[in-house]
Amino acid sequence: MSEQLMDPAREGASPWELVDERHYGHKFDGLDFSYIPQSGWRERVGDTVDLHTEAAEDIDLVTYQVVRHGLWNINEEHGTTVRKVSGSPIAHYANDLQPALLTEDGEYVYGGPFIQVMSATADLYVRWVLENYAEDPGIEDGDVFLADDPWVAGYHQQDHFVIHPVFWEGKIFSWVVGTLHHGDSGGTMPGSFCVDAKTVFFEPLPMPPFKIVERGKVRPDLERLFVRRSRVPDMVRLDLKSQLAGVHVAKERILKLIRRYGPDVVKASMRKIVDQAEDAFVEKLQQIPDGRWATRNYTECALVGDRNAYRMSLQLQKRGDYLIFSSDGTEPAYGSHNMTYSAWKCFIMPALNCTLANDQLYAMGGMLRRVVFKPNPGALVNALHPSAVGTAVAHNTVTSQAASVVSRMLCASETLKPNLNAAGGVSCGCWEGVGGVNQWGAPFATMSLDVMAGALGAMYGQDGGSTSGGLWNPTSSIPNIEATEQTYPQLFLYRRENLGGGAGHYRGGDAIVEAWIRHDSEAISTSPTGSGVAQPTSLGVAGGLPGNSTRFRHLLGSNVHEVFERGEMPDDIEQLDGEMYLTEPKEEPREIGPDDVWELKIPSGSGFGDPLERDPAAVARDVENERCTADFAREVYGVLFDGEGAVEEQATADQREAVRARRLERCTTRPEASGRVLGADEETVQMAEYVVGVLSGDSAEYACGRCRQVLGDADVLYKEHSAILEAGLDAIGPGFGDNVDSIDDELVWREFYCPGCGVRFEAELARKGEEFVRDYELVELTDGARNGGASSSS
């Protein structure tokens, strides 16, 4: 380490010092550890390449709006062109693509309305190309670089990026970058989700950027090299073609805009788009107090046959006009379920895009100036080469975690709280590769796209949408059952909403459950590639409950055909006889026999707030609309109905009191309630939905925001003052804990209650004996009261 190296945690340090490679003992060059541009990269590049930097000082308002819309349309047309030319189901249904428009030095001007995980990564490719290739082999007008190296950017090798400089009068004016998920890129498994991968060498070979197009001409040798590694080379060639068409269209339209308005005006508009997005983001940050928020999840079974759970921790710190994400405490990379630093960033972004930047028309560059992602080299979310990183089973859990920490943060901001969105939207891998011989005797292989039918987590003020996709892929879609059966030899028994949304003051949305049998086929197999089977991955906020876990079930040798003969249509796998096998999260392909049934249940959205706070009328609607049973309403929501289904108000109030009392009785740790209740005029600081702080001189205390009973000193985590239930996962509710035998680790479920009124503050997942998650800490309460507001970091 250099002598000048500053401690990034010191007071007044720039948060960007957290990404200085000298702190970590690894080069952040995209080889050993992921690429992170280091301070001064821009100046170093400046000597080797001509960048167009001139921008008009002032542009009039109309021109700005016209150019702004023009740039937006260019980027959208780029994405639409890729979808059109490719025509692939992945591009069409899953929308697994994203165009980007960047400045000359790789700052995002626009991302697009497609897959949101790709909104903080094209900048890395541009900067890597500038840093590494400006001198040799050079960057020329008409070049297109092709890349899929997750240690440079992107999140797994199946996503291929094309990176295209736009030149104006000999200088690089801007960049257009497009990404598209290709159907197969090689590796041990069809579709390239290689659950058996012990290292990246089992997976598609990561390719750092190379010039697939030189000065406007496709290199046929490199194209051949590229498509050769795929099982479907012709489709990959067409996908590549669609991407080249996309960047070409975008470049031509940018040049037209420059000719019309002048380069300086277009550049000034680009700068202003980014600046305005930054200002808007900062303005939002200023409505949030400084503090720290955290969550903890697990991902299980790193390889087929592995029986361990692996901790994933995420912390969010808000410090002045910056957000800092870190993954301290996350366990080391192992097996097939890891991700690179770039992937981790990618999957954090959707939670920010949808809550704090949804008014910026996908202009993410401004926000990225204010968000720091602290590296954690070697952790499973920041894997070193050559860890396996292609399966993307734990990736979605990062989005789920980010949604949780951002939601917790927004609980402290009255104005921004209505933007929060708790974890949901397919919170872990539940992928299902299907292959075999189709109804016409030809071989086939595909991934089920039905997993795109995720559910949203609860919001503040409304329930999460059922089967509405997710934050990471806001425009997803699933095929009709008939479209699937027309193409593949399957016959579905059911596909319906799974009623797995987490309970809460606002309920999480429900995802789907579906089952199928083999039909008109001699052979069909399916390979589960999942996580979140033994334990839930979309954890609730503020006492809301988790959405259901993933579940793969295989019923062997069932009587389904006899049942058909009898004129019955089974709509639950449990109605059938046969040998039930609860499938492990990751398995080798399983043959589906002629009488077998395969069922997939995907994870649902989590709840927000204590279910006992839910409006009884909303619970009545839930029961009427078959979203929950009357039993569940009574036990979890504490709502009772008369014979007509109308809420019995007094009985409901009594039942809710009884449930609260029962909660406290069940607690394994139960501190004495302080008995001291805050006066109505005593000022409080909102920290969590049901926890407030009270400042008095140089000390601070926590109190229950609901009954206003003082909990205790803010020197320690509020959880230390709470009544605590620690129990097995089955305590969460029906279905949870059914598959805990998949792992050897003992995971426990903890709920934290006000010892006075029994409102549920929060809940968490832990390995037995593990410390509490420090899920809420406001600087004002923890540090501020004692040292005059100076904050500490990390």
Q: Which of residues 671-710 bind another protein (CB under 8 A)?
A: none
Q: Is 454 in the site for another protein (CB under 8 A)?
A: yes
Sheet with 524-530: strands ordered across: 443-447, 430-437, 524-530, 590-591
- Which of 29, 77, 264, 770 is the binder for another protein (CB under 8 A)? 77
Contact set for another protein, span 205-244 (CB under 8 A) = 234-235, 238, 241-242
> CA-CA distances (angstroms) from residue 286 to 98, 297, 416?
30, 29, 11
Q: How many chain residues are in contact with another protein, going by CB under 8 A? A: 94
Q: Does 476 bind another protein (CB under 8 A)?
A: yes
Residues 6 or more apart in contact with residue 375 via CB below 8 angstroms: 18, 19, 24, 28, 33, 34, 36, 341, 382
List the one residue from 481, 618, 630, 724 that touches another protein (CB under 8 A): 481
Selected binder of another protein within 22, 26, 42, 92 (CB under 8 A): 92
The Cα–Cα gap between 709 and 705 comes to 8
HEC assignment per residue over 608-625: ECCHHHCCHHHHHHHHHC
Least spacing, CB of residue 406 vs another protein, in Å: 12
Shortest separation between residue 462's beta carbon and another protein, angstroms: 7
Does residue 16 bind another protein (CB under 8 A)?
Answer: no
Per the CB < 8 A criterion, the answer to whether 554 and 598 are in contact is yes
Smaller CB separation from another protein, 132 or 462:
462
**CB of residue 325 vs another protein: minimum separation in angstroms?**
19
Report which residue type is found at 327.
S
Q: Is 413 in the site for another protein (CB under 8 A)?
A: no
Q: Measured from the CB atom, is 89 or 378 closer to another protein?
A: 89
Confirm or reject binding of residue 755 to another protein (CB under 8 A).
Answer: no
In the bound complex, what is the minimum distance in angstroms from residue 410's beta carbon to another protein? 11
Convert residues 100-119 into a mask of x (bound to another protein by CB under 8 A) and - (unbound).
------------xx--x---
Q: Is residue 264 near another protein by the rule CB under 8 A?
A: no
DSSP-assigned letters across all residues of 594-663: TT-EEEEE---PPPBS-GGGS-HHHHHHHHHTTSS-HHHIIIII---B-TTS-B-HHHHHHHHHHHHHHH
Is residue 456 a contact point for another protein (CB under 8 A)?
yes
Tell me which stretch binds another protein (CB under 8 A): 486-494, 582-590, 688-696, 747-755.
Answer: 486-494
Q: Residue 643 is which amino acid? A: G
Task: Report whether 580 contacts 512 (CB < 8 A).
Answer: no
Beta carbons within 10 angstroms of residue 486's beta carbon: 10
Return the residues of window 432-451 that contact another protein according to CB under 8 A: 439-440
- 570 preceded by a cis bond (ω within 30 of 0): no
| 58 part of the interface to another protein, by CB under 8 A | no
Query: Binding of another protein at residue 96 (CB under 8 A)?
Result: no
The answer to whether 340 contacts another protein (rule: CB under 8 A) is no
Pick the closer one to another protein by CB: 200 or 268.
268
**Alpha carbon distance 268, 95 (integer Å):** 31
Rule CB under 8 A: choose which of 230, 466, 537, 558 binds another protein. 466
Q: How far is the CB of 213 from another protein (least distance, A)?
A: 15
From candidates 76, 143, 432, 587, binder to another protein by CB under 8 A: 76
CB 546 within 8 A of CB 502: yes
Among 43, 136, 169, 626, contact with another protein (rule: CB under 8 A):
626
Judged by CB under 8 A, the chain residues 565 through 604 that form the site for another protein are 567-571
Counting contacts by CB under 8 A, is residue 467 touching another protein?
A: yes
Q: Does 731 bind another protein (CB under 8 A)?
A: no
Which is it for strands 322-326 and 371-373: parallel, antiparallel or unpaired? parallel
Contact flag: residue 609 with another protein (CB under 8 A): no
> Is 287 an interacting residue with respect to another protein (CB under 8 A)?
no
- The correct pick among 359, 574, 665, 771 for binding another protein (CB under 8 A) is 359
Q: How far is the CB of 73 from another protein (least distance, A)?
A: 5
68 binds another protein (CB under 8 A): yes
Among 45, 59, 85, 717, interactor with another protein by CB under 8 A:
85
| Min separation Cβ 482 and another protein, Å | 5
Pairing label, strands 699-704, 710-713: antiparallel
Residue type, 627: R
Cα(5)–Cα(442) distance, integer angstroms: 62
The Cα–Cα gap between 777 and 104 comes to 40
Q: How far apart, in whole angstroms, are the C-alpha atoms of residue 467 and residue 451?
A: 10
519 counts as binding another protein under rule CB under 8 A: yes
Residue 582 belongs to what H/E stretch? strand 579-582
- The yes or no reply on residue 361 touching another protein (CB under 8 A) is yes
Question: In angstroms, rounded to a whole number, what is the distance separating the alpha carbons of residues 709 and 701?
Answer: 11
Both ends of the chain: CA-CA distance in Å? 20
Does residue 41 touch another protein according to CB under 8 A? no
> Counting contacts by CB under 8 A, is residue 793 touching another protein?
no
